[in-house]
Amino acid sequence: MAQRIPFQTAFLYLLLLMALLLTSTAQAASALIPAPPQVSARSYLVMDADTGHIIAADRENERFAPASLTKMMTSYIVEYEISKGNISEDDLVLISEKAWRTGGSRMFIQEGTQVKVGDLLRGVVIQSGNDASVALAEHIAGSERAFADLMNQHARLLGMNDTHFVNATGLPADDHYSSAIDLAKLAKALITQFPEHYAIYSQKYFTYNNIRQPNRNKLLWRDNSVDGIKTGHTDEAGYCLVASATRDDMRLISVVMGTDSEEARARESQKLLSYGFRYYRTHQLYTAGQVLKDSKIWAGSRDQIRLGLTEDLAVTVPRGKVDQMEANIELDKVIKAPVEQGQELGKVRVSIDGETITTVPLVALESVEEGGLFKRIWHAIVLFFLGLIG
């Protein structure tokens, strides 16, 4: 005769089953990521600034006229030269006739006057002054043409493979182009390499010669998380914007090129930033120098070696996927002395749902010299027999 289950027990089982079903449904729903928004631009992307992961993009490697986004490289070089001690913000720049006569958006500097580098830098970033850009180019390189060559050298160093500059302003010129991905790389460099200057890009106004001009980046007024970076516009390029914002320890960089109005470039940029923040997270895994593993080392002056990373490791994770992320260490089978600090001895592989999302070198955090003669001979014998067994 079948045993009957008491009503209370059956009811508890039913409640437990319902809870499990609700939990699994909620987990599945939290992991759903919609398609990226439709963006009205010739080219665009949104990127995690910490990891370099591209969250959404279209035609990001294609070459387009960058207009005044060019001035990001002009300001980058100015900040680079300041950091190297070659110039200072208080240096005075003699304004040439060429700089004074440069058309388009202007800072309204006067020929024959002397203007501080720091004021000219703000004139470039905040007011998008073509006159200020030419003045700085001439001050640093002697001429705008020579400065353009310097711009291209820095572009190559930054891995901007689809970029070529002819001038310091972004005024229309043959063979002057860039891509969304290259401009995102440049934006990341501005943020990470020269943080002491980055606050300039969030300033809403700058006054020079009693003329107060606003920053053309409308997002600085609409979104408190946005702190830069640069707008651009010509008839050929359309309306462009490179923006950056930080929320909950996550920084994103967005690029839109070739929109049809000032309002459109702000609106489309906001779409990209909102999508990235809503559905993705930056997850910090390890810090540079953190010991990830103590490993056996053979024939060394000591028997253990500490292993870790040379740089911080962060990954971009879709919302709801953090618990499904795994980090595995793949180590060389045999580590023998001598070993130099920084020498690669394996890999750290990070995956989500079995799919690898990044792989970075696992390195020695310290040097280990060879051990004495007897130890080296003995370990050679041990390794020989271990090899036979293996």
Catalytic residues: 68, 71, 128
Running DSSP on this structure, what letter comes out for residue 36? P
Give start and end residues of each alpha helix (H) in 46-193: 71-83, 97-101, 117-125, 130-141, 144-157, 180-193
Percent of residues in the chain assigned helix, strand, coil, to nearest 5: 35, 30, 35
Strand, coil or helix: what is 209? coil
Cα 16 off chain centre by: 46
What's the rounded Cα separation, in Å, for the pair 380 and 121? Answer: 63
The b/e string for 331-361 (b: 16+ C-beta within 10 A; e otherwise) is eeeebbbebeeeeebbebbbbbeeeebbebe
Cβ(166)–Cβ(66) under 8 Å? no
What's the rounded Cα separation, in Å, for the pair 75 and 81? Answer: 10
User: Is the preceding omega at residue 229 within 30 degrees of 0, hence cis?
Assistant: yes
Which residues are CB-neighbours of 209 under 8 A, at least 6 positions away? Answer: 107, 108, 109, 110
What's the rounded Cα separation, in Å, for the pair 167 and 151? Answer: 9
What's the rounded Cα separation, in Å, for the pair 64 and 299? Answer: 57
For residue 167, which amino acid is it?
N
